[in-house]
Amino acid sequence: MPSYSIIENFEVHKNNRFLEIAEALKPELLHKEIKAEKEIMVGKDRQMRTVITEEHPIENLYAKSLKRDDTVFVDFGDHAVGYVTLELSKTGSHQDAPVYFYLKFGERLEEMTDKTADYDGWLSRGWIQEEYIHVDVLPAKVKLPRRYSFRYMELRVIDTSAKFQLKIDGISCDTVSAVDMESVKPVDFGDPLLNQIDLVSRKTLKECMQDVFEDGPKRDRRMWLGDLRLQARANYYTFKNYDLAKRCMYIFAGLLFNEGKLSACVFTEPEMEPDDTYLLDYALFFSSVLLDYYEATDDLETLRDLYDVAIDQIRIAMTQLNEKNVVEDLGDAFWCFLDWGDGLNKQAGATAVLIYCIRYGIRLAKILDKQEDISWLEEKQAMLKEAAVKEFWDEELGMFVSGPDRQASWATQIWMILARVFDKETNCKLIHHVMEVNPRIRMVTPYMYHHYIDALIRCDEKELALEEMKRYWGEMIRDGADTFWELYNPYNREESPYGSSMVNSYCHAWSCTPTYFLRKFYMDNEK
């Protein structure tokens, strides 16, 4: 369990004007009813992976009478986010007791065979999508009040009585999203796998676009700044819902805390409230989010409104430099994200993110002709680049290292490339050297893989980037993904940073960006 960088004496400083702008941009969610498609039987194959052993038309289920300990599984045919309704009745004699049943919802098939009683992760087990329900009088239409993110559903009858049985007459879901899949024109990339990757990317993004850009509709169902940056980029090349991106920026900027810091994430219910967690890299990314939005919309008024918030995050980060002019290493505390992964040292990567975001700050300042800020930012950028090479470059290894143990990781190299600490020719040599050496501390999330693909493209390795997208996200599809996952290790599909994959998110915002890369860099009408 990570040690969170929780702010002491946490104080929220609200900008009511910003929050009023955000509230006016709140979307009216689109609703679409879908129905359960099939009854399925599930079991284990020889490799002990969960598989569908039989499938039948849903009418097969609706013809059954269910008694104590009967269990049925339902497949909706595709990932859904919404509110489930069960139409229930009975057979047999008069209902002389409540019907008592258990429901479980899963984004992937394996969740149907997980034994939730065995859960021992460090995140709340409340994230596991399961319910125990009593119905006193049948027939009944049971509308579940909680929103679910799922494709599969299990129903197990705990008890009826000896006199009657439960009958299911219908199962449907009122799906919700701020956008509609049909609003985006499909693109033929000349490769069926790439077309599927683009489709699943868009589906992932759509499911996470609710009242705000959520990081995951199953978990955490809130807005993280690092996820927002990647979601917004994908959105600009697909759904083009500029108002939702603008809304999210104003929410973050309207809920600053101590010293003008941006929170790593914002809770949206029962009211907007910043989390008391500060992540250096996430706060810095606000400059990138703001510039991306401006370039997509030419909305100069929003840029003027939010400019100071973006630049202030850079000023705050500059106070965290040590005497060598690199970011102070705070060890294992949750002070900078970069990537999940045991033992990843964040010092060099955090310094590189700061350099990267200063570049965005300079571009913002130039648009508004902020000459004093331009001079200050350019001076700090040059100082940081020089310090990063002096402190972190290991000539013998031919890579950047990080922390007291001089750790070489994929994340450190990728962020140094994106920060343009070296020129493009040197960066190209570095990325190939890293691929050849394959440092022990590897990438474990689609979030980090996004930056790897970005680095390859910036090194003019577009074809290699395409192959890596097909290898990583394509393998996820071959492993059954309807939407892309929070974490994916092809060699360990049950890997989890939380102690158990039962609370992993299998529809996660930061994994949606192949559609951004494909549509920006691999279409004839490049933007």
Query: What would you measure as the largest C-alpha separation in the chain, in angstroms?
Result: 84
Q: Are residues 156 and 216 in the same domain?
A: no
Report the DSSP beta bridge partners of residue 3: 333
As a whole number of angstroms, the distance between CA 82 and CA 173 comes to 6
> In the numeric block, which tokens belong to residue 266?
């914002």
The residue among 177, 197, 229 that closes a domain is 177
Say how far apart CA 158 and CA 138 lie, in whole Å.
Answer: 16
Is residue 517 within 8 A of residue 234, CB to CB? The reply is: no
Both 225 and 272 in one domain: the answer is: yes
pLDDT at residue 4, rounded to an integer = 47
Residues 14 and 60 in one domain: no
Q: In this structure, are residues 479 and 163 in contact, taking their beta carbons and an 8 Å threshold?
A: no
pTM of the full structure:
0.96
Instruction: Based on the fold, state whether residues 16 and 39 are members of the same structural domain.
Output: no
In a domain? residue 41: yes
Same domain? For 10 and 78 the reply is: no
- Does some domain include residue 489? no
SS3 347: helix
Cβ within 8 Å of residue 385, ≥6 positions away = 355, 419, 421
Do 113 and 25 belong together in one domain? no
170 and 40 fall within a common domain? yes
Q: What residue type is 363 in one-letter code? A: R
Do 173 and 309 lie in a common domain?
no
Query: Is residue 268 in a domain?
Result: yes
The angle at the Cα of 144, spanning 142 to 149, to the nearest 5 degrees, equals 135
Pairing relation of β-strands 255-257 and 12-14?
A: antiparallel
234 and 105 share one domain = no
Q: Are residues 145 and 220 in the same domain?
A: no
- Per the structure block, which two tokens stand in for 77? 């045919």
**487 part of a folded domain:** no
- pLDDT at res. 335: 95
Determine how many CB atoms are found less than 10 A away from the CB of residue 269. 9
In this structure, the number of other CB atoms found within 10 A of the CB of residue 298 comes to 9
**SS3 at position 461:** coil
Q: CA geometry: angle at 57 spanning 203 and 37, to 5°?
A: 20
Give the domain extent around 67: 31-177
Neighbours of 116 (CB within 10 A): 14
CATH number at residue 138: 2.60.120.260
Q: Is the dihedral of CA 51, 80, 466, 492 positive or negative?
A: negative
* 434 within some domain: no
Both tokens of residue 423? 């020129």
Judging by DSSP bridges, how do beta strands 148-159 and 3-4 pair with one another?
unpaired
Classify residue 449: in a domain, yes or no.
Answer: no
**Do residues 59 and 8 share a domain?**
no
Total domains in the chain come to 2
Q: What is the model's pLDDT at position 9?
A: 79
Q: Are residues 42 and 156 in the same domain?
A: yes
Q: Which two tokens stand for residue 385?
A: 């680049």
**Which of 159, 177, 195 is the last residue before a domain boundary?**
177
Q: What is the pLDDT along the chain (527 residues), one digit of tens a residue?
A: 544 455 677 899 999 999 999 999 999 999 999 999 999 999 999 888 899 999 999 999 999 999 999 999 999 999 999 999 999 999 999 999 999 999 999 999 999 999 999 999 999 999 999 999 999 999 999 999 999 999 999 999 999 999 999 999 999 999 999 999 999 999 999 999 999 999 999 999 999 999 999 999 999 999 999 999 999 999 999 999 999 999 999 999 999 998 999 999 999 999 999 999 999 999 999 999 999 999 999 999 999 999 999 999 999 999 999 999 999 999 988 999 999 988 999 999 999 999 999 999 999 999 999 999 999 999 999 999 999 999 999 999 999 999 999 999 999 999 999 999 999 999 999 999 999 999 999 999 999 999 999 999 999 999 999 999 999 999 999 999 999 999 998 888 889 999 999 999 999 999 999 999 999 999 865 43
pLDDT at residue 526 in the model: 43
- The answer to whether residue 334 is domain-embedded is no
Q: Which two tokens stand for residue 186?
A: 């499909």
> Order of strands, edge to edge, in the sheet holding 223-224?
223-224, 265-267, 273-274
Q: What is the pLDDT of residue 342?
A: 81
Does some domain include residue 512?
no
What integer pLDDT is reported at residue 432 of this predicted model? 97
